[in-house]
Amino acid sequence: MVAENFPGGYAGKIARINLTTGSVTQEDLDETFCRKYIGGAGFVAHYLYNEMKPHTDALSPDNVLVFALGPVTGVTLPGSGRHCVGAKSPLTGGIAKAEVGEFWGAELKRAGFDALIITGKAVNPVYLWIKDGEIAIKDASHLWGKITGDTQAAIRQELGDEHVRVSMIGPGGENLVKYACIMSGLYDAAGRGGLGAVMGSKNLKALAVKGSQAPKVKNPDGVKGIRQWVLDNPRYYADMHDNGTGAWVKGFIATGNLPIRNFRDGLLDDAMGIDAKELLTKYGAGMDACFGCPVRCKKRIEVKEGPYKVDVAYGGPEYETLAAFGSDCGIVDGAAVSLGNQLAGEYSLDTISAGGAIAFAMECFEKGWITTKETGGIQFKFGNIDAMLKGIELIGKQEGFGKFLGLGTKRMAEKIGHNSAEFAMHSKGLEFGMHEPRFKQGLGLGFMVSPIGGDHCLNMHDSGLTGPWAVPGLRWFGIHKPLSATDIDAEKVAQFRNVQFHQILNDSLVVCQFLPYNDEMRVNYTAAITGWNTSPIEQQKVAERILTTMRMFNLREGLSANDDALPKRMFQPKTNGFLADKPLSAEKMEAAKSYYYTLMGWHPETGVPLPMKLQELDIKPLAEAVAAK
C-alpha cells in the first residue's frame, strides 16, 4: 500500500515487465520525481528519453512501451477516466503518446499501479493479467488473430469476470500497421502514432486489469466541491452531453474548417449526412461515459437495416472519424462512416491516419498515379464508399493494396513520387487531425511543432479565442482582446504556448480536455487531490520540462527543425468555399515557429533547447543522455 505521507491520487508504484525474460518487478515512486513530471505524458517523456537506447527501431524488442496514469486518474472527479500510452513511434520515428478514456486507467489505479513499463518481446503471444498488486503473464496464442470484440469477450470468459477491463490490439496491431492503435474496450482508442504496432511487435495482445483499492486524496471535501461545481454547471458541456463531438458540420463548412477531399476543397453537397445530430437522430442508441464522468460524450450508433449494418457494441464515430472517413474522402453517408468506425475498432486502427491515407490515395488515383492495377480493381475515387470500407479491411489484414495504405501518407508519397508530397497531409509523418490550419492558424503552428506531429489535441483551436467571451480567460495570460483565427502574430504564438502548456498538463495529470477546468481550477484540484500547494508558475515549469524532454527525444532520434513543417497545400487556397482566397503565409508561419522556439528557450533557428534552459529544467543534455545508455 502507498505510504500514508505520500501525495494523494498516486498508488505509489510502477511495474516493469520484460516480456523477453518474463520478469516482473515493482518499484516505489519518488515524490520529487512525481512533482517534476506529474504522471501520464510526463512519465512517458521521462522514461523514453532516459531509458531507451538512441535510434532504437520502433518495432524492436528494445522499444519501451509505457502505460502511465496521473494523480487525477481514477479519482471521483469528472474527467478522471483517462490514461496515457507512449513509445517510440513506428510512424514518425519520434515520440508517440496518446490519451484514452474508458475505465481501464481507473481500474489500473485501483489495482495498485501508476505506470507499467514494458520492454522485450515474448516468444509467443501473451497478455498481462493485473489484479490488486499482482501481474501475471498469460498465454494469448488462442487470441492472436481475433478482432477486439472477440478478444475482450474471450479474456473475460477465461478470467471469469465480465467486469475486467481490457486494453488490446486487433489484427491491425498484430500485423504491425504503422498507425495501429490500442483499444481500451471497444470504442476508446489510444489512437495516434502506431502504439498498437508496438504492442504487436512485442507479441503483447492485451492487458486485462481489475482492482479493488480506490485512490486516496488529501482533501476529499475539496474534490467534492469541484465535482459539485461541474454537476451544477452543465451548460459548459451540454452540447457534448447531447451529441458528443461532430455536431458542427454546418459551421465548419461555413468557416472552411471541415476537411473535404484531402483538405483540397471547401464545399461538399449533403455534408450534413455526417453531422452528429443527424447521425444520432437516425441511428442513435444512447450516450455513454468514461469512469465517473457526467459529460457522457460518447455516442452509440446502431444500424439494423441497409447495406451498412453497425453493431452498437463498437460505439459510434466522433468528429475526427466522421471527417476522416467522411468528408475527407468525399463521403456523406453517416451509416457507412459508422461502419468504417466499427471496422477500425475491430482491427485497432487509428481512424484519423487511416482516413487520411485513404483520402490521399483517392487523390492520387484521380491523378492517375495509382490505378486499378495497384488497388486490385477497386475504383479509389472520392465518394466511393466501398473503396473506403474495403480499404480499412485491407489495411487491418495487411492484404493487397492495404499494405501500401498502411504505410501512412508520408511513406506513400515517397513511393508515388511526382509532386504528391505537396498534398500528403501530415506533419512528421502523423496525419493531420481533422481541422484546417488555413482557418485555425495557431492550430497550424501546433501541427508544425507538436512533438508527436499533426495532432489536434496537444494544440490550440483558434476559433475559441475570437469573440468577447474569450477575453476573461485571455486576461489570465495578460491578453486583453479577442484573437483572430485567420492570422498568426506574436500574441497568438504566445497564447498557443499557454494553451499547449495547459494541454500537456491535462495529459500528465491525466484529465479530459472536455471538462471546463481552467488553469486556476487545475491548481485547486491538484492541491485537493495530492496535497501539494502548487502554483500556476510551478505547473508551467512542469509543462516546459515535459515538452522540452520530448523535444530532446525527437532530436536524439534524428528529427530537426526541418520536420516542423506543413505540406505545400497549406500555402495554397482551397478550391472553393470560405478559404478559396485565404492560403497560409509561409513567411508568417516560419516567423511564428521561430518565435515559439524563442519563447521555449530553444535556438530560434534550429529549435535545439539552449544549454541554460536544460540546466534550468534539470534535463540531461544529449551527450550525457546518450553516454548513459
pLDDT of residue 468: 86
Considering the domain architecture, whether residues 57 and 205 belong to the same structural domain is answered as: yes
143-175 pLDDT, tens digit each: 999 999 999 999 999 999 999 999 999 999 999
Considering the domain architecture, whether residues 67 and 92 belong to the same structural domain is answered as: yes
Helix, strand, coil percent content, the chain, rounded in steps of 5: 45, 15, 45
What Rg do the C-alpha atoms of the chain give, in angstroms? 23
Three-state secondary-structure class, residue 315: coil
pLDDT at residue 13 is higher than 90: yes
Residue 318 lies inside a defined structural domain of this protein: yes
Using a 10 angstrom Cβ sphere, with 0-12 exposed, 13-18 middle and 19 or more buried, the burial of residue 459 is buried
pLDDT at residue 625 is higher than 70: no
Beta-carbon contacts of residue 57 (< 8 Å; ≥ 6 apart): 63
Considering the domain architecture, whether residues 421 and 508 belong to the same structural domain is answered as: no
Residue 120 lies inside a defined structural domain of this protein: yes
Considering the domain architecture, whether residues 37 and 118 belong to the same structural domain is answered as: yes
Considering the domain architecture, whether residues 189 and 317 belong to the same structural domain is answered as: no
Considering the domain architecture, whether residues 177 and 241 belong to the same structural domain is answered as: no
Per-residue cell: 325: 472517413
pTM over 0.75: yes
From CA 90, how far away is CA 235, in angstroms rounded?
A: 41
Q: Which of 427, 454, 474 is the last residue of a domain?
A: 427
Residue 174 lies inside a defined structural domain of this protein: yes
pLDDT of residue 469: 82
53-112 pLDDT, tens digit each: 999 999 999 999 999 999 999 999 999 999 999 999 999 999 999 999 999 999 999 999
What CATH number does residue 400 fall under?
A: 1.10.569.10
From CA 395, how far away is CA 398, in angstroms rounded?
A: 5
Residue 349 lies inside a defined structural domain of this protein: yes
Residue 2 lies inside a defined structural domain of this protein: no
What sign has the CA pseudo-torsion 446, 452, 453, 458?
negative
Query: Considering the chain, what percentage of its residues have pLDDT values greater than 70?
Result: 99
Q: Which of 176, 210, 244 is the last residue of a domain?
A: 210
Neighbours of 527 (CB within 10 A): 17
pLDDT at residue 134 is higher than 90: yes
Residue 423 lies inside a defined structural domain of this protein: yes
pLDDT of residue 63: 98
pLDDT at residue 485 is higher than 90: no
pLDDT of residue 626: 61
Residue 301 lies inside a defined structural domain of this protein: yes
In the block, residue with C-alpha cell 518481446:
121
Considering the domain architecture, whether residues 401 and 457 belong to the same structural domain is answered as: no
Considering the domain architecture, whether residues 352 and 467 belong to the same structural domain is answered as: no
Strand order in the sheet with 95-100: 23-28, 13-18, 115-119, 65-68, 83-88, 95-100
Q: How sure is the predictor about 627, in pLDDT bands with cuts at 50, 70 and 90?
A: low
Considering the domain architecture, whether residues 419 and 453 belong to the same structural domain is answered as: no
Residue 436 lies inside a defined structural domain of this protein: no
From CA 334, how far away is CA 319, in angstroms rounded?
A: 12
Query: Considering the chain, what percentage of its residues have pLDDT values greater than 90?
Result: 93
208-257 pLDDT, tens digit each: 999 999 999 999 999 999 999 999 999 999 999 999 999 999 999 999 99
Is the preceding peptide bond at 177 cis, omega within 30 degrees of 0? no
pLDDT of residue 467: 83
Considering the domain architecture, whether residues 149 and 72 belong to the same structural domain is answered as: yes
- Residue 215 DSSP code: P
Q: Which helix (H) or strand (E) holds 161?
A: none
From CA 360, how far away is CA 368, in angstroms rounded?
A: 13
Our count of domains for the chain comes to: 3
From CA 475, how far away is CA 453, in angstroms rounded?
A: 29
From CA 510, how far away is CA 591, in angstroms rounded?
A: 32
What CATH number does residue 572 fall under?
A: 1.10.599.10
φ/ψ of residue 428, rounded to 5: 60, 15
H-state helical runs in 76-122? 104-110
Mean pLDDT computed over 486-512: 95
Considering the domain architecture, whether residues 237 and 363 belong to the same structural domain is answered as: yes
Three-state secondary-structure class, residue 383: coil
In the block, residue with C-alpha cell 502505460:
67
Considering the domain architecture, whether residues 261 and 410 belong to the same structural domain is answered as: yes
Per-residue cell: 83: 490514461
Mean pLDDT computed over 391-410: 98
pLDDT at residue 628 is higher than 60: no
Kindly report which listed range (255-264, 443-452, 486-495) carries the lowest average pLDDT score. Answer: 486-495
Q: How sure is the predictor about 442, in pLDDT bands with cuts at 50, 70 and 90?
A: very high
H-state helical runs in 233-333? 238-243, 249-255, 276-283, 319-321
Mean pLDDT computed over 566-591: 97
Provide the residue range defining the domain that includes 167. 13-210
pLDDT at residue 373 is higher than 60: yes
pLDDT of residue 486: 83
Q: Which of 358, 392, 427 is the last residue of a domain?
A: 427
Buried b (16+ CB within 10 A) or exposed e, 295-328: bbbbbbbbbeeeebebbbbbbbbbbbbbbbbbbb
352-361 pLDDT, tens digit each: 999 999 999 9
pLDDT of residue 487: 87
Mean model confidence pLDDT for the chain: 96
What CATH number does residue 127 fall under?
A: 3.60.9.10
Kindly report which listed range (320-334, 490-504, 573-587, 615-629) carries the lowest average pLDDT score. Answer: 615-629
pLDDT of residue 1: 63
Paired residues of 598 in beta bridges = none
